[in-house]
Structure 1
Amino acid sequence: MRKIGILGGTFDPPHIGHLIIAEEVRLALELEEVWFIPTYTPPHKDSTKTSVNDRIEMTKLAIASNPYFKINTIEIERSGKSYTIDTIREFKKNHTDCEFYFIIGADMVEYLPNWQEIDALVKLVQFVGVKRSSYELNTPYDILTVDIPLIDVSSSMVRSWLGKNRTAKYIVPEAVHSYIEGEKLYGTK
């Protein structure tokens, strides 16, 4: 069985925290690949700040230097709100040679009881929780935990900084930073 990590999110924009999480979990669990899955519209958010095409392009740029990282646009292709249960069911159907590990931050670990069909979902995929400041890894569900270096960064923080004309250099990969500036995303000038 191939061991595949899944990291879902809006990636609006992708930042070094996403990359560190993916790499640390990949190494700790000896995963063959980590699939980055941008959502079209996440169930827990009203909208994204940039277009689907911008988020796909930024994600591709962010992961380009790591041969173990891949992008999978299953949720973009589905369009509308995406639920993890639907994605995992499709993966299990189409990738019978794979065992999946769904990587989530501690903020999402606490939110697991609210996920669509969570009781069915935890039977289909192994959740992997990573620490995040201000959150605990407390849940009634069976999750693996992986310690990662705590870097307190989020996409909303990056957007806020850029909106205030503050640089996000070193917080997002260089190629993503150049793309954001070139496309004048998030209020950059």
Structure 2
Amino acid sequence: MNKAPVGVLGGTFDPVHNGHLRLAMEMAIALGMDHVRLVPCARPPHRNAPTASPGQRAKWIRVAVSIEPRLRLDDRELLRSGPSYTVDTLASMRTEMPDTPLCLIMGRDVFAHLPKWHQWERLFDSAHIVLIDRPDIQTELHPEAEKTLASRAVDDVRHLHDELSGHIYSYAPPPLAISASRIRDLLGAGESPRYLLPTAVLDDIMDAGVYMPSKPQPATAANQ
């Protein structure tokens, strides 16, 4: 086959920031991907709902990747009703791209709990997994995740190009310590997160007032 794979990077992207974007670019460049799709989750099954609306999060990704052809927004989970299950997302991509290898990108800390995901074993029917290793994150794998890693691990990136799905490839990108929670905390405290996320995204967040501290209500005669 030897066809350039398509990367799939999911998350709430609440908001999208330079850490997400740089990681996606690292994957595209280092692993020879055709492009990487950023897939915002509408209703994450295992965590609280995002603060920003689906429309806002999709808009920010669209703006952030508008000048980079190797990064794309994929909003299918936002358009689908019900919980956002990754197995369904990958199956629909596989239907659309029957001859293209797909690579689901996730951190080792996420992979550690993969057996708790909905129909997790079916993920490998549609995609490979690219496992992001970070030296500052140590985690113990669920026994089934450890067993799966041992049986599916490959150390040659060509497997991601030559086969459609089924392998796990580990990659350690250069460190870039940026998080969406840190950005939300700064905005909530009235501080600036500039240079942690694209300027156009920050400008829109400021205009819309998302994540900003609540303004105190003016005193009235009744509560003075």
Q: TM-score under structure 2 normalisation? A: 0.78
Count residues in correspondence: 189
| Cα distance in 2, alignment partners of residues 16 and 67 from structure 1 | 16
Q: Which residue identity is paired with 2:72?
A: K
**2:175 aligned partner, one-letter code:** L
Relative to 1, partners in 2 of residues 1:107 and 1:62: Cα closer, same or farther, differing over 3 Å? farther
Unpaired runs of 5+ residues, structure 1, are none
For residues 137 and 105 of structure 1, do their structure 2 counterparts lie closer, same or farther at Cα, with a shift above 3 Å needed? Answer: farther
Point out 4+ residue stretches in structure 1 off by more than 4 angstroms.
136-139
Q: Which residue of 2 aligns with 1:5?
A: 7
The answer to whether the 8 Å contact 2:87/2:118 transfers is yes
Q: 1:181 — aligned with what?
A: 206
Shift of 1:152: 2.2
- Please say which structure displays the higher CA radius of gyration: 2
Displacement of 1:137 in angstroms is 8.5
Partner residue in 2 for 1:72: 74
Asked if 2 retains the 8 angstrom alpha-carbon contact of 1:28 and 1:146, the reply is no
Shift of 1:42: 1.1
Residues 145-172 of structure 1: per-residue CA shift (max 9 Å, x gap): 1221212222112111110111111111
In structure 2, the residue matched to 1:158 is 183
- Which deviates the most, 176-185 or 109-118? 109-118
1:130 maps to: 132
The CA distance in 1 between the partners of 2:113 and 2:65, in whole Å, is: 27
Q: Match of 1:88?
A: 90
Question: How far apart are the structure 2 equivalents of 1:24 and 1:136?
Answer: 23
Q: Which runs of 5+ in 2 are unaligned?
A: 153-167, 216-224
Note if 1:167 corresponds to 2:170.
Answer: no
Amino acid at match of 1:176: V
Q: 2: distance between equivalents of 1:182 and 1:3?
A: 37
In 1, the alpha carbon distance for the partners of 2:102 and 2:140 equals 20
Letter of the structure 2 residue corresponding to residue 40 of structure 1: A
5 Å-filtered alignment, 1:42-57, equals 42-57=44-59
CA contact (8 A) 1:130 1:145 kept: yes
Contact 2:4 2:32 in 1 (8 A): no
Q: Distance in 1 between matches of 2:201 and 2:140?
A: 30
Q: Secondary structure at the match of 2:173?
A: coil
Structure 1: how far apart are the matches of 2:198 and 2:108? 23
Q: Do the aligned partners of residues 173 and 20 (structure 1) sit closer, same or farther apart at CA in structure 2, a change above 3 Å counting?
A: same
Aligned to 2:164: none
Aligned partner of 2:169 in structure 1 is 144
Matched, 1:34 2:36: yes
- The change in CA–CA distance for 1:137 and 1:99 in structure 2 (over 3 A counts) is farther
TM-score under structure 1 length normalisation: 0.92
Q: CA RMSD in A?
A: 1.8
